[in-house]
């Protein structure tokens, strides 16, 4: 599958209903910010406000941006990506890979010259003057959060057009600096972080200088026991990781793309946006139709954005459940590397160059769908991604992984899958 989240195809193949699929392949918040009954008041007869005034106001309150910057809304961030690249018509495109596949898709259709820079080992590689650069932060499919300051300076010095996709940024917390989210919430809950108990080190937070090459060291050394610490125990409140939004005012070739479907747990509500310099948005808008968004989508999203308690709740829950998911993946012994993700998903690499499709086949008996990442540039089929889901789902995943490991370590009669050395298991059942 090219994307995560195709539960319909998967369910059809298994002969079950889509809602019976346990979907770890799409990175959607399991929490929801809105009671659907609010949609009963929505007027469907008139056309919606073509300027999307109330929704834009709600977005600006949630994601403040200074004057000189404007916003354009789209039916999801994927539509925003296509519209922006069609509008910019870049000749030289530089994609920091691995990254969300739709960038390469539209670039291919447009016949752009695409250069991939591997974020893991050539982050600071040279880029062509006046090229268009694309960076997803936190990145997919590994969830690594980057401090982009050094790269932004480099791109600006090369007179590049810059596209930053922050669709997963709301899940990430900055240890120091960043915006204080507690001010946005009326009831800020105790902040929680998952710490490595045995090592007692800070949560992993790569920067632009830390190009991620030591991820394997971090994950392979990850200790079996983890603890959840709360603010009451002496940690600082969680802060949102920094957005590049404010920097648009100082560089008029900087574009920020954001999906609202991930954090607000509503991939069925199609809203995403682009922030850019006012003149750049005016140019983009010339090619956009009126009434792109439905009244239902807008009403839902306005309610979601108004729920400020949801921000801290989600961040707290994601941090906790990501720790739990990490533990389950680690305990299975199937993986030799778990990337230190800062978003609502984790990327893991199967030990001994295992086959992600084989793992998927085993998980099908439990109707569990995962994302094999071989169609991400610079990854292969040993890389699999798991969304952070609720505790019950993670427990079911743990049970299924244990069954696979049990079968893999039982004496073989038909095929010989000799047991690997160390604590990692071969995926050979």
Ligand X SMILES: Cc1ncc(COP(=O)(O)O)c(C=O)c1O
Binding residue for ligand X, selected from 24, 33, 71, 78, defined by CB under 6 A: 78
165 vs 193, beta carbon nearer ligand X:
165
Give the strand order in the sheet containing 113-118. Answer: 69-74, 272-277, 254-259, 161-165, 132-136, 92-97, 113-118
With CB under 6 A as the contact rule, the residue among 83, 93, 95, 136 that binds ligand X is 136
Question: Alpha-carbon distance 49 to 295, whole Å?
Answer: 8
Candidates 70-78, 121-129, 298-306, 385-393; binding stretch for ligand X (CB under 6 A): 70-78
Tokens describing residue 339: 């990337």
DSSP character string of 119-138: TTT-TT----TT-EEEEESS
CB atoms within 10 A of CB 131: 21
Query: Which of 25, 55, 72, 76 touches ligand X (CB under 6 A)?
Result: 76
What is the spatial distance between Cα 192 and Cα 233, in angstroms, rounded to a whole number?
9
Helix axes 77-88, 102-110, angle to 10 degrees: 30
d(CA 60, CA 186): 18
Among 59, 77, 88, 276, binds ligand X (CB under 6 A): 77
**15 Cα distance to chain centroid:** 30
- Beta bridge partners, 369, equal 23
Smallest gap from residue 81 Cβ to ligand X (A): 6
- Residue count of the chain, please give it: 429
Residue 259 touches ligand X, criterion: CB under 6 A: yes
Give me the 98-117 binding string for ligand X, x by CB under 6 A, dash otherwise. Answer: --x-----------------
The stretch among 74-82, 115-123, 273-281, 334-342 that binds ligand X (CB under 6 A) is 74-82
> Closest CB to ligand X among 27 and 196?
27
Structure tokens at 40: 């009963």
Near ligand X in 141-170, by CB under 6 A: 165, 167
Q: Which of 137, 247, 261, 400 binds ligand X (CB under 6 A)?
A: 261
Q: Which stretch binds ligand X (CB under 6 A): 34-42, 75-83, 378-386, 407-415?
A: 75-83
Q: CA 79, 239, 95: angle at the middle one, nearest 5?
A: 35
Between 58 and 194, CB nearer to ligand X:
58
Smallest gap from Cβ 261 to ligand X, in A, equals: 4
Q: Buried (b) or exposed (e) across 78-110, using 16+ Cβ within 10 A?
A: bbbbbbbbebbebebbbbbbbbbbbbbebbeeb
The 262-301 site mask, x for binding ligand X (CB under 6 A), equals -----x----x-----------------------------
The interaxial angle of helices 295-306 and 53-62, nearest 10 deg, is 30
Query: How many of the other CB atoms lie within 10 Å of CB of 126?
Result: 10
Q: How far is the CB of 267 from ligand X (least distance, A)?
A: 5
CB of 264 to ligand X, least distance (A): 10
CA dihedral 225, 230, 234, 240 (to 10 degrees): 110
Minimum separation from the CB atom of position 198 to ligand X (A): 33
Tokens representing residue 100 in the block: 């969300």
Rounded to a whole number of angstroms, the minimum distance from the CB of residue 161 to ligand X is: 18
* Candidate ranges 76-84, 183-191, 319-327, 404-412; the one touching ligand X (CB under 6 A): 76-84
- Looking at the Cβ atoms of 167 and 426, the one nearer to ligand X is 167
User: For ligand X, which is the closer residue by CB, 301 or 324?
Assistant: 301
Coil/strand/helix, residue 333: coil
Work out the angle at residue 371's Cα, subtended by the Cα atoms of residues 368 and 377, and round it to the nearest 5 degrees: 170
Q: How far is the CB of 305 from ligand X (least distance, A)?
A: 15
Shortest distance in whole angstroms from residue 76 CB to ligand X? 3
- The site that binds ligand X (CB under 6 A) totals a number of residues, namely 12
Residues in contact with ligand X by the rule CB under 6 A: 76-78, 100, 136, 140, 165, 167, 259, 261, 267, 272
């Amino acid at each position: 599958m090219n994307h995560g989240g195709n539960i319909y195809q998967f369910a059809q193949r298994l002969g079950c209903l889509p809602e019976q699929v346990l979907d770890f392949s799409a990175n959607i918040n399991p929490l929801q910010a809105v009671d659907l009954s609010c949609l009963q008041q929505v007027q469907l007869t008139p056309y919606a406000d073509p300027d999307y005034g109330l929704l834009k106001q709600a977005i600006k309150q949630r994601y403040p941006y200074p004057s000189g910057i404007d916003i354009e809304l789209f039916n999801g961030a994927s539509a925003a990506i296509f519209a922006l690249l069609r509008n910019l018509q870049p000749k030289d495109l530089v994609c920091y890979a691995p990254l969300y596949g739709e960038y390469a898709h539209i670039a291919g259709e447009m016949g752009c010259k695409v250069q991939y820079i591997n974020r893991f080992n050539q982050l600071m590689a040279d880029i062509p003057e006046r090229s268009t650069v694309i960076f997803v932060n936190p990145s997919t499919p590994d969830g690594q959060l980057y401090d982009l300051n050094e790269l932004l300076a480099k791109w600006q010095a090369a007179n590049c057009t810059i596209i930053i996709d922050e669709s997963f940024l709301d899940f990430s917390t900055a240890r120091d600096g960043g915006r204080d989210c507690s001010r946005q919430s009326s009831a800020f809950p105790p902040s929680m972080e998952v710490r490595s108990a045995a090592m007692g080190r800070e949560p992993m937070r790569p920067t632009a200088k830390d190009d991620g090459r030591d991820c394997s060291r971090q994950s392979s050394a990850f200790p079996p026991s983890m603890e959840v610490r709360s603010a009451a125990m002496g940690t600082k409140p969680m802060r949102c990781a920094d957005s590049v939004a404010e920097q648009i005012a100082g560089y008029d070739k900087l574009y920020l793309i954001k999906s609202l479907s991930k954090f607000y747990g509503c991939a069925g509500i199609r809203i995403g946006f682009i922030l850019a310099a006012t003149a750049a948005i005016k140019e983009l808008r010339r090619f956009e139709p009126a009434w792109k968004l439905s009244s239902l989508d807008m009403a839902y999203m306005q309610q979601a954005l108004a729920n400020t308690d949801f921000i801290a709740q989600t961040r707290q829950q994601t941090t906790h459940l990501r720790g739990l998911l990490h533990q389950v993946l680690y305990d299975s012994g199937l993986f030799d590397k778990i990337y230190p993700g800062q978003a609502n998903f984790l990327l893991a690499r199967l030990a001994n160059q295992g086959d992600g499709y084989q793992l998927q086949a085993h998980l099908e008996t439990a109707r569990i769908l995962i994302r094999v990442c071989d169609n991400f540039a610079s990854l292969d089929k040993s890389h699999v991604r798991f969304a952070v889901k609720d505790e019950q789902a993670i427990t079911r995943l743990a049970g299924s992984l244990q069954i696979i490991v049990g079968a893999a370590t039982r004496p073989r009669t038909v095929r010989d899958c000799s047991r690997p050395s160390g604590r990692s298991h071969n995926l050979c059942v």
